[in-house]
Structure 1
Amino acid sequence: MPPILLASSSPYRAQLLAKLNLPFIQASPELDETHLPHEVPESLVKRLSLAKAEALSETYPEYYIIGSDQSLCAPNGEILGKPHTVENAIQQLSLLSGNRVTFFTGLSLISPKSCSESMAKQTVVVPFIVHFKELSKAEIEAYVRAEMPLDCAGSFKSEGLGISLFEKLEGEDPNSLIGLPLIKLCQLFSNVGINPLLMQKTSTKP
């Protein structure tokens, strides 16, 4: 089984990756995630997802390393990341209320240094469209108090009560909203000869 490293301390991404039933470890990269001047969300997540994986490649040279990053652009042009505070979360959801927003997830897979250079670094960006309901101030404040989505880009948890904020979702993979687009990850794995379906251990009864 090839060793796999998730370059993130996020429990949400770990829960998603665990769905593939492949053994992996986690490590958090030390990285400045500030966006560059005039950088758009799609470019930001592409750059940061690869940077997160690259930041750990020297420490874990024989691992397949997964990096991921998320961002979206509010209707006023502001790039929204993790809110970190209740006040920021309320402000973000107020900006998103009643709007159609494209949420971008960057995904990178770095192969071990001993592997072929042709697929050494793979990076993709997965878009997902979210249609927000018209939300009252009371609804936004109640939601933030209930789930405290302070470590989630856009200030919502679509796998929980956050689903009640939406009118409609459009995209290839709803897992991308939570933090890790598994359909695309399986494709990147396939490009380097990793097939999760063929790497499952057969269960045996005692």
Structure 2
Amino acid sequence: MSDTALPRIILASTSPYRRELLQRLHLPFETISPQVDEAPFAGEQPRNLARRLARAKALAVAEQHPDAVVIGSDQVADLHGKPLGKPMQHDRAVAQLRAMRGQTVVFHTAVAVVCLARQHTEVDVSQVNVTFRDIDTGMSDAEIEAYLRLEQPYDCAGSAKSEGLGIALLARIQNDDPTALIGLPMIKTCSMLRAAGVSLLTGARA
């Protein structure tokens, strides 16, 4: 794979959030659903779950497209060691947000880049610590209800979109890469794509 030939890039995800983030690089890519069971193993820690699923998603697609550079990612919200999944329903989102009031939730966002033709596999996990407001400073039951009705973030781990109105629920964010919280840590993804043979800026399209 030469520096001048841009490899085929596949995002092993149908997430609109990850697709939007990857589009920032102005690289041509396609998306394919990885069809991976995301259920955690018994006793599996949230960070390990995110790492395993990101790798599994990338490998599932890479096995069908061995010449492509495949990006897999997964995010797990961690409340005191307990994984918080996507609520998918209003009542579950309410319960999640109530549980997170005044707490710091750790968001583990893993990214894997795989190219089987180059025998290249790399996996990394970014950590973002998010402190939610308490009941007196922006997370009353009424405010939670109003937020969910307006934004309906039922497909987001932790039931809040920091890039949207969910920022009003937060007291603090600590991270090395703000895109990690959205769903794909782009600083690390760029580094991993370079290692897999992708020339980022010279391969970008206007």
TM-score by length of 2: 0.92
The aligned residue for residue 93 of structure 1 is 97
Question: Of 104, 111, 116, which residue of structure 2 is paired with 1:107?
Answer: 111
Provide, for residues 147-202 of structure 1, a one-character-per-residue CA deviation record: whole Å limited to 9, x for no partner.
Answer: 1111101111111101111111110111111111000001111222323122234x
Does residue 124 of structure 1 match 2:127? no
Question: Of 176, 186, 191, which residue of structure 2 is paired with 1:182?
Answer: 186
Output the amino acid matched with 2:133: K
Q: How far is 1:58 from its partner?
A: 2.2
Rounded to whole Å, the distance in 1 between the matches of 2:112 and 2:196 is 13
Q: How far is 1:131 from its partner?
A: 1.1
Does residue 13 of structure 1 match 2:18? yes
Rounded to whole Å, the distance in 1 between the matches of 2:77 and 2:45 is 9
Rounded to whole Å, the distance in 2 between the matches of 1:193 and 1:101 is 35
Provide, for residues 4-26 of structure 1, a one-character-per-residue CA deviation record: whole Å limited to 9, x for no partner.
Answer: 00001111110000001100000
Q: Percent identity?
A: 43
Question: Of 170, 173, 179, which residue of structure 2 is paired with 1:169?
Answer: 173
For structure 1, list consecutive stretches of 5 or more residues without a partner in the other structure: none
1:105 touches 1:127 (CA, 8 Å); kept in 2? yes
Question: Of 57, 60, 73, which residue of structure 2 is paired with 1:52?
Answer: 57
Rounded to whole Å, the distance in 1 between the matches of 2:174 and 2:199 is 27
CA RMSD between the two structures: 1.2
Provide, for residues 54-92 of structure 1, a one-character-per-residue CA deviation record: whole Å limited to 9, x for no partner.
Answer: 1112222211000000112224x4310111111111111
SS of match in other structure, 2:13: coil
SS of match in other structure, 1:114: helix
Rounded to whole Å, the distance in 2 between the matches of 1:148 and 1:103 is 19
- Matched length: 197
Relative contact order, CA 8 A, sep 6+: which one is greater? 2
Output the amino acid matched with 2:162: S
The aligned residue for residue 28 of structure 1 is 33
For structure 2, list consecutive stretches of 5 or more residues without a partner in the other structure: 1-5
TM-score by length of 1: 0.92
2:79 touches 2:104 (CA, 8 Å); kept in 1? no
Rounded to whole Å, the distance in 2 between the matches of 1:9 and 1:199 is 23
